[in-house]
Structure 1
Amino acid sequence: MGLRLSDSQTDASVSASAAAPSNASVTQDSLTSDQARSLIDKVNGSGYIQTHFTQVKPPKTEMPQWLKDLMHWLGDVITAIGKILAPLGPIMPWLIYLLVFALAMLVLSPFVRMLIRQQIERFLPRDVMKPETMWRPTKDAAAALLHDIDALAAKGEYDEAVHLLLLRSVADLNAYRPDLVRTHYSSRDILSHPLLPADARPAFGEITRWVEMSYFAGIRVGREGFDACRQAYVDFVAIEGIG
């Protein structure tokens, strides 16, 4: 940012340093007012210091014609709607309240939600299979899971064992029906999902119940809860040699 020297800036050291070598003979003590003015004009005229600033006008921006036409058309539409609704002006607030109430009741209706869910599920590729299709984990997977939770239970870590049982069960369900388990689903969402196999629902519900009491209510699972969840899983697996 440039600065313009003024008459008040006639300090001898500033003027002498700004002057060209040809003015070196002019000493600090012999500077007069005219000589200082001459030095100031010479420095300002040398072009090394910016003393004037050009005012740049911003470019003119004009609205496109198509946007003008669109705004004009929207204005006509709003005006026409206003004329149509003008007779309903006194009762318009009550009509709005009634419409909001009807929409709220419609959204909260279990029947409407069921219909919406069915329509959504119909168009999702992951929901091609029927919910009543029989399904069981493989014998090796079930045996490995029981081995892991028994190891935790042997150390008294019943809460961790039941939680592991839930996580593995969710993973098995997701492997059976890819992407059935969405990232935002809770255990209850999976339990109430219409495409959860009916034969898996009792065991999954029992495991979910104990995990919720442990993690959200602070109730320790203990041996009783572990045995209940383990037995529910074994009954669901129902493979000879497991348990």
Structure 2
Amino acid sequence: MRTGTALALASLLAGSAISGAALAQGANDRTASHAGTVINDEFDPGYVADDWRPQTDLDALDRAHADYLKRGDLQLERPEWEADPLPPPDPPPRWLQWLGNLLSNLGPLFQFLFYAMIAVVIAGFLYFVFGEAIRVRFGRSGKGKIDLADDVLVDIRPNEAMARGLLEEADALARAGKFAEAVHLLLFRSIEDIQTRLEGGVPKSLTAREIGGLQHLPDRAKTGLGPIIRIVERSFFGGRPVDSDGWQEARASYEDFAFGEGWA
């Protein structure tokens, strides 16, 4: 027991002595280094610290790289996610396939019908706007038309009060020597009255002569307005003044148109 204790104390003392000697030697070395007393016989006076460069063994690097590539436990490529292929869709029912084939075969026919409908709509619109004018200017001369009955003629006649009032206005112009103005008044008022009374109206683009030649205008109306139209055309386009005889002819024609037989 005592012997073991003595050996332990001796070991501690010996370790402390060795540590103190080592510390003293290190302090002496640092002091000598700072004092410039260390002498190295192999020291090169021309050595500069910046001249040192690390040296690489390229052969060893190639061998290491080859060994790296040969290793099978390393993942050298980035994995790409690939979706599972979708199952093919179920085929449509047979009746739907039949319907699709039928419509596919009828496609050209539907296309033709589509353009034909567009053409019919355009033609109908043009006929509605310009049909009457085209029929008057380029159509038949009027032969073979069915003479309209007198009850149709009555529908486009002005009422008696309006007709008498118009004649009074025209007579006043004629008494003042304005025969052309009086004839024009009779014609324009008559056309306005026909426009309101005739079924379908009268295209506004027509001239007085074209209105007088309308196929759906009763013959008695054409006969009554014809002389008035000719007198106005001679006055407007021919430059011939309207005299008293022309006025009396136009007045008599309007009386026949407005009142027919039995005017007194």
- Give the TM-score of the pair, scaled to structure 2: 0.41
